[in-house]
Amino acid sequence: MEQYDPRVDAYIEKSAAFAKPILIHIREVVHAASPLIVETIKWGMPFFLYKGQVCQMAAFKEHCAFGFWKASQLEDPNGFLKIGEEGAGSFGRINSIVDLPSDEVIKLFVLQVIEKNESGIKPQIIKKIPAEKKELVVPDYFEALLNENPIAKAAFDKFSYSHRKEYLEWIIEAKTAPTRQKRLQTTMEWLTEGKPRNWKYKA
């Protein structure tokens, strides 16, 4: 396994314009922390390794994420790590380089994980307590449309909680009446075809 993986170059290149400088910066700082670090791609995102996983980075549509594999075991007296927060990383949603801690702080975290990997310490597995599902409230105007289309209603009722929630949030969060009407029309078309809200992004 090479220190620099060309697949990481390709990942950065195809990322959004705002994300490229963030990913390049993270990559440079992690390698500057230790020449022992090597790269790979796992689960579709760049990982940095040394005797196990050290950290990983990812670019999404509107933010980046950067996380440490053993974040819960790292010494963090100044509270830089945001374990468990939204953003799929250790520092929350990263929209620019200024959202990252200093280079020196990142390097210290990298060296801590390397030390733990050397000693064979495995990451702690934190069991998350599943959040209580709130009852989904179907607006009257949407319920009326469903009652007029038995096929769409049957599809909606058969969907999982999360799929129904995705449709409801998309409709309710429309900021204008025309937008809501358009989303309702699209929803009914997709439900009639048995499609979930995010069917376009499914493999």
- What average pLDDT does range 62-85 have in this prediction? 81
Report pLDDT for 128: 59
- The predicted model scores a pTM of 0.57
Choose among 12, 44, 42, 43: nearest CA to 27: 12
Q: Flag whether pLDDT at 121 surpasses 80.
A: no
The CA-based diameter of the chain, rounded to the nearest angstrom, is 65
Domain assignments of the chain as residue spans, ordered by start? 6-119, 140-201
Q: Please report the pLDDT score of residue 125 as a whole number.
A: 52
Confidence class for position 85, pLDDT limits 50, 70, 90: very low
What CA dihedral angle connects 68, 74, 79 and 80, to 10 degrees? -30
Q: How do residues 142-181 score in pLDDT, each as one tens digit?
A: 999 999 888 989 999 999 999 999 999 999 998 999 999 9
24-49 residue pLDDT tens: 999 999 999 999 999 999 888 999 99
Domain covering 6-119, topology = Aspartate Aminotransferase, domain 1 (3.90.1150)
Per-residue confidence (pLDDT) for residue 87, from 0 to 100: 44
pLDDT of 38 reads 95
Beta strand ranges found along the chain (DSSP E): 38-42, 45-49, 53-59, 64-68
Residue 81 CB neighbour total at 10 angstroms: 21
Name the more confident of 79 and 165: 165
What average pLDDT does the structure give for the chain?
Answer: 87
Least confident of 55-64, 109-118, 128-137, 163-172: 128-137
